[in-house]
Amino acid sequence: MRTQVAIIGGGPSGLMLSQLLNRAGVETVVLERQTRDYVLARIRAGVLEQGCVDLLRRMGCGERMEREGIIHEGTKLATVNGMFRVDFKARVGETVMVYGQTEVTHDLYAAQDAIGATIIDEAQNVALHDVTTDSPYVTWEKDGCSHRLDCLYIAGCDGFHGISRQSIPAEKRTEYERVYPFGWLGVLSRTAPAADELIYANHPRGFALASMRNPKLSRYYIQVSLSDKVEDWSDQAFWDELRRRLPAAVAESMETGPSIEKSIAPLRSFVTEPLRWGRLFLVGDAAHIVPPTGAKGLNLAASDVHYLYEALQAALTGDVGALDLYSERALKRIWGAMRFSWWMTSILHRFPGQSDFDQKIQEAELYQLETLETAQAAMARNYTGLPY
Ligand code: APR
Ligand code: PHB
C-alpha cells in the first residue's frame, strides 16, 4: 500500500487530521489498534473551546454539535465561603460548547465514512520504519497477515501509550512530567444536571466537579486517593460524598440515580519535546497529557491538528519549510494550556501534606478569582481557549 500521510491512531487527533487532509485532497490511511466500538465506548471530557468548534465546523463535522451542543457563557466555582461565577462572555467575549468527546468521535467517524476514508482498525503491532529518511513506511499485522504502508509523512496520533513517541530515540526526546497525588472518580448518570453551568468545587474534603452532557445526562467527579479502587465506591457512597462537597443548595436539589459509567482516572501533566523526528510528527495525547481540570485534552489535540494540517498541506505543495515550524508553533500553545491546567488543578484540589501556608495561598488565589475582574478575565481567556 502507499499513501501520502500515514496516521497512527483513530481517536480524535487522528480522525480530525485525516478529515481535514482528505477534504484538501490529501490521501491518508488511519491505523487504529482497537475496534471502532471500543474507541467509541470511551467516556472523556466534554467542553470544547471555540477554536475546536470552528475546526470541527470547518471539516464538516459541526451539524449535530450545533444541534445538540450546549453553549456555556461562564462557569461556577464553589468554596466553603460560597459560590461565584466567572462570566466568560462578559470578560473576554468568548463562550465554550458542552458536547461530549464521545459524540465528537462519533461525528468524525461518520464524516470519514461519508467521504470513503481509509481507516484500518484492529491493526496490531504497528511499527514505524525509516522515519528519518525520505521514504518512511509503517508495518502492522491483521488477520494473521503482515502489511506495509509506504508514505511521505507519519502523524503519531496514538495517544500517551502509543508507539509513535517511543519511535523517537530516548536520547532525542526531552520529557517533562508532573504526576498529581490524587485521582478523579467519575460517574455518568441519566439524571438532570445539578446546575445550568459547570460547578468546580474546592472543599476541605477534596475537589468535586458537576458537569453534564445534555439535559438528561450528567457527569460528576470527586477527587479520590490514588489508593482508591472503583469497587470501593458504591453509587450511594459517591452521591453522598459529592453532596458533601457541593454547595448545600445544589446538593439538596440535585437528582441522583444509577451510574452508567464509573471510573477512576489518574492526573498527570506531561509534555515531550520536540514533536518532530524526521518525517514523524506527534499530535495530541501522543505528545502531551493535561490533568482534566481545565478540560484541555481534546482542545489541545485540535490545535495540534490545525498546525500540522497547515504544515503538511504547505509541504505537499512545495513549501517543506513549513514542517520545520510545526513543533515550536504547537509547543507554544501546548505549554500555555499546560500551565492553565496545572493552575486550575493547584487551586481546586486538596494536596496530601498540604501546608497551612499552601492552603492560605490557595484561598488567596480563589479570593482574587472571586473579586478581581482581571483575574477572571485571565481565567476566562485560558478556559475558552488561547489564540491558535
Ligand atoms: N497502534 C495503533 N493505534 C494505537 C496504538 C498503536 N500502537 N496505540 C494507541 N492507539 C490508538 C488508541 O486505541 C486510540 O484510539 O490511538 C488512539 C489515540 O486516541 P486518544 O488516546 O484519544 O488520543 P487523541 O486522539 O490524541 O485524543 C486526545 O482524547 O484521551 C483523550 O483526554 C484526551 O481529550 C483528549 C483526546
Ligand atoms: C466533563 O464534562 O467530563 C468535564 C468537564 C470539565 C472538566 C473536566 C471534565 O474540566
DSSP letters of 152-205?
SEEEE-S-TTSSTGGGS-GGG-EEEEEEEEEEEEEEEESS--SSSS-EEE--TT
Is the CB–ligand 2 distance for residue 298 below 6 Å? no
* Residues annotated as part of the active site: 72, 200, 292, 296, 383
Quote the number of domains for the chain: 2
Instruction: Let me know whether 255 and 365 are in one domain.
Output: yes
Task: Give CA–CA dist 153/279, Å, rounded.
Answer: 5
Query: C-alpha grid cell for residue 87?
Result: 462570566
- Return the closest-CA partner of residue 80 out of 348, 276, 388: 348
Residue 117 belongs to domain with CATH number: 3.50.50.60
pLDDT digit string, tens, across residues 130-160:
999 999 999 999 999 999 999 999 999 999 9
pLDDT digit string, tens, across residues 69-114:
999 999 999 999 999 999 999 999 999 999 999 999 999 999 999 9
Per-residue pLDDT at 148: 98
- Atom 4 in ligand 2: which residue has the minimum CA distance? 45
Residue 201 belongs to domain with CATH number: 3.30.9.10
In a domain, 251, yes or no: yes
Query: C-alpha grid cell for residue 66?
Result: 450545533
pLDDT digit string, tens, across residues 229-268:
999 999 999 999 999 999 999 999 999 999 999 999 999 9
Per-residue pLDDT at 43: 84
In a domain, 55, yes or no: yes
List b or e across 284-295, with b for residues whose CB sees 16 or more CB atoms inside 10 angstroms: bbbbbbbbbbbb
The model's confidence at residue 45, banded by pLDDT at 50, 70 and 90, is confident
Per-residue pLDDT at 159: 98
Ligand 2 centroid from CA 45, angstroms: 5
In a domain, 377, yes or no: yes
Query: What integer best gives the mean pLDDT of the chain?
Result: 97
Ligand 1 centroid from CA 361, angstroms: 36
* Mean pLDDT, residues 58-78: 97
Q: What is the pTM of this model?
A: 0.97
Q: Could you tell me what percent of the chain has a pLDDT over 90?
A: 98
* pLDDT for residue 200 is more than 90: yes
Exposed / middle / buried, residue 80 (Cβ in 10 Å: 0-12, 13-18, 19+): exposed
The model's confidence at residue 197, banded by pLDDT at 50, 70 and 90, is very high
Is the CB–ligand 2 distance for residue 293 below 6 Å? yes
Nearest ligand 2 atom to the CA of 213 is 2
Per-residue pLDDT at 298: 97
- Atom 6 in ligand 2: which residue has the minimum CA distance? 295
**Which residues have CB under 6 Å of ligand 1?**
8-14, 31-34, 39, 44-45, 101, 123, 126, 157-159, 161-163, 284-285, 297-298, 301
Identity of the residue numbered 28: T
In a domain, 371, yes or no: yes
Ligand 2 centroid from CA 138, angstroms: 35
Task: Give CA–CA dist 47/35, Å, rounded.
Answer: 25
Domain that holds residue 260: 180-266+347-384
Instruction: Let me know whether 281 and 314 are in one domain.
Output: yes
Task: Give CA–CA dist 21/4, Å, rounded.
Answer: 10
Task: Give CA–CA dist 208/80, Å, rounded.
Answer: 12
Ligand 2 centroid from CA 44, angstroms: 8
Instruction: Let me know whether 168 and 44 are in one domain.
Output: yes
